[in-house]
């Protein structure tokens, strides 16, 4: 009986075949649906598609409270209230300086912050309020 590859739909005539998600595959067809890298050791799946760890978590994992993009398990993050942010998204809305863990900051809305210095500057400027 000749098996058919779930990835390319061609016959598997190789000496070895892989079984993933109860389907048979050529080894070279077991690839991430997003980055197309060969999945040699471990893979994740959703809706019949295969993903590497990084792409799976970016697509289906926790999303950044700033940009809305997925967070990879290897991303460095900051937390504020009940949200998680990429480091690059955890910045002051005025000066764009990256904020640090434990630093005093002011929440403008769900995704924007002001560093303490810009907040104080905005409060002390006559007739000006921070955005």
Q: Which domain holds residue 41?
A: 3-59
CA-based R_g, the chain, Å: 23
Distance, in Å, from the CA atom of 40 to the CA atom of 52, rounded to the nearest integer, reads 10
With CA atoms as reference, report the closest residue to 20 among 43, 36, 3, 38: 43
pLDDT band with cut points at 50, 70 and 90 for residue 128: low
Distance, in Å, from the CA atom of 24 to the CA atom of 7, rounded to the nearest integer, reads 9
Q: 34 and 79 share a domain?
A: no
pLDDT band with cut points at 50, 70 and 90 for residue 126: low
pTM for this predicted structure: 0.59
Domain count, the chain: 2
Distance, in Å, from the CA atom of 92 to the CA atom of 20, rounded to the nearest integer, reads 46
Q: 8 and 46 share a domain?
A: yes
Domain annotation covers residue 131: no
Model pLDDT, residue 81: 81
């Amino acid at each position: 009986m000749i098996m058919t590859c779930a990835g390319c739909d061609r016959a598997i005539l190789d000496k070895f075949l892989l079984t993933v998600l109860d389907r048979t595959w050529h080894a070279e067809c077991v690839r991430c649906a997003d980055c197309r890298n060969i999945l040699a050791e471990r893979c994740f799946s959703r809706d019949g598609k295969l993903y590497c760890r990084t792409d799976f978590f970016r697509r289906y994992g926790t999303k950044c409270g700033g940009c809305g993009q997925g967070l990879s398990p290897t991303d460095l993050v900051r937390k504020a209230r009940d949200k998680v942010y990429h480091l690059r998204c955890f910045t002051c809305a005025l000066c764009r300086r990256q904020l640090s863990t434990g630093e005093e900051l002011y929440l403008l809305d769900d995704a924007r912050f002001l560093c303490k210095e810009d907040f104080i500057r905005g409060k002390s400027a006559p007739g000006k309020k921070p955005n």
